Structure 1
Amino acid sequence: MAQDLCFWNDFELKKPPLVTIEVENTGFAKNVFVAINKFLQQMGGQDFDETAALIGRLMTRRKNSFRNMPGFRAICKLNSALCRLLRLDLCRDLEQFRGSLPDVYVEDTEGALPTKSSFEFILVRLLAFYYLHKRIAECCLSAASYFTKLLRSNFFMDFTTLLIAAIAKIKKLSADQATQSAQLYNKLRQHRNSFPEVKNHKFLPDNQELPENLEPMKSLKSEAKEEKPQSVLLKPKEVVTRVQKSKSDVGMVIARKETSKPSFNEAALATVEDAQRFIARETKARKQNPLPEDCFTGKISKHEWLAAQKLFHQKLSKDPAKALSLFRKFVVSKIK
């Protein structure tokens, strides 16, 4: 069973000999030729090869410093898928098969067509091309989600930005090529039984079968269109309120008594002894927590209070009247 699933991924798959057989009707071959020719014209760009080469160079540049990062391992897997896609060389096989088709396409006209085995080989190569691009898309998403987180933390800003840009470009180009290959496969698959078959030379074993059709990969634009923006407006909830009748009796008015704070009297500092008692009382009150209501110097900072006491005691021995006057002015200016 595993061999059946990996049949398209077998790069050592032997190509059947390109043999042409005379048939009676070659009219359907025109549709095959037109589909293959259109696909080859669409695959003519070099942007995919240049971007794939850029990713390979970026991987080689940081293979030592980033080797243990999960996102960098996804880059290595992406590079391996790109290398396998390069080895596949689908365009060469399509050109060879297109060259074996007849030059004139007229219904009910005899002509030489390649065998069914050669046509099935082309279909298998289209399957390999399609599933490799799906693998590339998976690796791109895995690597981009990891390196976007590193970009938010400004980790190797220049390198990470360039790498994410290359991953985004290869993802877009890969999705386009996968869609084109799926469309070509769906067009060619319906003509499988129209090609002549050689009984003794079958390409597909009996236990293997090709899928009926392939689903085109969704591009970034189609995914953005399908995602409908959610409405950010919230509908306000209906609030049902009950109308209450106002009452005439609203209670009794209570008068609050105002508490009077003790006021400072300058006459309390009439003499030097009064000043000394005031200093002792205030110093004791300032040490309490919380401060009592009769502490008048609570708003004075500690260093100012100590400086006022020091100045008072220095002037007291020389000029008691001046010491008392300076201390009284200091206290009055700070309290009132």
Structure 2
Amino acid sequence: MGQNIWKDGIIGLMVGDALGVPVEFSSREDREHDPVIGMRAYGTHNQPVGTWSDDSSMTLATLDSIKQKGKIDYKDIMDKFTEWCLYADYTPFQEVFDIGVATSRAIIQYGKGTDPIDCGGKTEWDNGNGSLMRILPVCLYLYNRQKMICTSENESIYLIHNVSALTHAHLRSQIACGIYYFMVKSVLSREGDLLAKLQWGIDAACQYYRSDLNNYKELGYFSRLFDLNAFRQLSKDQIKSSGYVVDTLEAVTWCLITTTSYKEAVLQAVNLGDDTDTVGAITGSLAGLYYGYNEIPEQWIKTLQRLEWIEQLLCYD
């Protein structure tokens, strides 16, 4: 596996997460009066500076499973999610302080013996961003795998949808993860500026999903992203930063295409308020992949709790 893209994307994600943790659930008005300009301590969850949340914990658990198994193993991923939830593995201080209701419910279902891919909620109300926030390692694994053995998009999307379904099994959440996968691929493989790369990814996702009429209704929820030149003209007031998966993907994309650096993108994301850690994390993942690890402020990286352990987890033979 290519180490650089893992480092770019996952450190990018974790820094964005840690920036957002102290101000999670704060209003946009609060952020306008007191904007985040760097790493903070305490705040919403009363955690030390550089503390990361469930977004990073579940991302690291997924990464660790892929690293150990060399493949996507649904049961092993759920085992590691359970170790995180019950025993605080993959956390900064052996404490779980932020876990979504849908994720918690899915882990409980798994503990009762439910098959891993049947654990996630399937209703209209099960479309939080809890699978989108942790899907990056799967996307990077499939990107590398596709380069090596030319696997089909059908196989990749099948795996992504199933990994989403571990906690979020509604088609809308699965499509959000699929769109993100195509965005990751385009950032890593296409030429052009960030808007052009993301537009290519969204176009590829639309082409893929439109091949099945069953996807049309759900794909329509993402229609504001279809023309990024128009989307970037929207004002901040027209962007929501809630935990709803469509709002999150829109907010992330808007932050990326209205800024010109990693630092600017993640600060824009966090200062939207509301679900600051997740919007910051997902923005940071794509910004990290595009701008590269060296463009992430060094002091922010050094502030991350358990940095040495994180770096070891990111090392591949």
TM-score bracket, shorter-length normalisation? under 0.3
- When Rg is computed on C-alpha atoms for both structures, the one with the higher figure is 1
Instruction: Identify, as 1 or 2, the structure richer in helix.
Output: 2
Q: Give TM-score, length-normalised by structure 2.
A: 0.24
Q: Which has the higher contact order (CA 8 A, sep 6+)?
A: 2
